[in-house]
Amino acid sequence: MPPAARILARRLYFFPHDLIAKTKGNNLLKPPEGMIYTGGGDFLETGKRFKDYFIKYGGLLPSDHVLDIGSGIGRLAIPLTDYLTSEGNYNGYDLIAQGVNWCQQNISPRHPNFHFHQIKLHNDLYNKDGLDASTYSFPLDQNSQDFVFLISVFTHLIPEEMAHYVREISRMLKPGKTCFATFFIHDDLLPEVNDAFSFKHRKEIYSLMDPKVVSANVAFKKKYLFQVFKDSGLQVQHYFPGYWRDTGEQEKSLDFQDIVVLRKE
């Protein structure tokens, strides 16, 4: 289904549920179910869990200047509103107007140091139009950010876009500061996968789940990916393999996707 039709179908499906929730007058800072286009799971629980990881493994501080690339509809921004102080600030960038607008209308008025921006870039899963992400420059100064994160975003970027974003992140981070990101990472051998979730279309440095929608799910070969980090001046501080591989050891992973914590040299 095309991206806009997918988003509309979800809104219609959840319309009765969201109407009832609205009439009950819920004050919780959370988008209506029908507007959440950014993945399954418990929206608030997932956001809170990642906030805890940011603090525990990424050293996120309340006064940090934070950049959220692929901010979606505020899943990670919402829990940070209770953590970042007025000394800190947050900037989120995303392609999809529905998510950016909801955050601008519902988060920024209550938390004026939270800013959301739409960037009109192409991604064949999310936006059929738009400019090439592999040449996009974020409008943030060199050495200006303390903490950059991308949750379930590099899993939708092709290698040129991913490598360009890694270089951009390195440019924007202050020396010694952190990037926290999720990926699908594999070695030379095809990892153990279940049939419903497998990267069968293998290329030299990456693999795809569906060659018809290239950005649907992208996995990178570890050796290539870690070389991109190194070439961009980012050191791997932590690597937590995810349970997408179906190893039967789900409890040992932090998340379904692989997590990498990087530090700028």
Ligand X SMILES: C[S@@+](CC[C@H](N)C(=O)[O-])C[C@H]1O[C@@H](n2cnc3c(N)ncnc32)[C@H](O)[C@@H]1O
Q: Which residues bind ligand X (CB under 6 A)?
A: 38-39, 69-70, 72, 75-76, 93-96, 99, 121, 123, 126, 133, 151-153, 156-157, 161
> From the CA atom positions of the chain, what is the Rg in Å?
18
Residue facing ligand X at closest CB distance: 72
- Nearest to ligand X of 103, 234 (CB atom): 103
CB of 210 vs ligand X, minimal distance in Å = 15
What is the sign, positive or negative, of the torsion defined by CA atoms of 37, 155, 166, 51?
positive
- Nearest to ligand X of 66, 69 (CB atom): 69
- Nearest to ligand X of 129, 265 (CB atom): 129
Contacts 24+ apart (CB under 8 A), 106-110: 106/29, 106/31, 106/74, 107/29, 107/74, 107/77, 107/78, 107/81, 110/29, 110/81
- Nearest to ligand X of 121, 176 (CB atom): 121
Contact 94, 151 (CB under 8 A): no
CB of 134 vs ligand X, minimal distance in Å = 9
CB of 25 vs ligand X, minimal distance in Å = 25
CB of 215 vs ligand X, minimal distance in Å = 7
Q: 59's torsion region: left (phi>0), alpha (psi -120 to 50) or beta? A: left
- Nearest to ligand X of 190, 217 (CB atom): 217
The CA distance from 126 to 233, in Å, is: 30
The residue with tokens 């279940």 is: 194
- Nearest to ligand X of 69, 173 (CB atom): 69
CB of 50 vs ligand X, minimal distance in Å = 8
CB of 150 vs ligand X, minimal distance in Å = 7
CB of 224 vs ligand X, minimal distance in Å = 19
Q: Among residues 240, 257, 258, 264, which one has the least CA distance to residue 57?
A: 240
E strand map for 49-199 = 65-69, 89-94, 114-118, 145-150, 173-183, 185-186
Query: Torsion angle, CA of 192/188/151/161, rounded to 10 degrees?
Result: -140
- Nearest to ligand X of 121, 234 (CB atom): 121
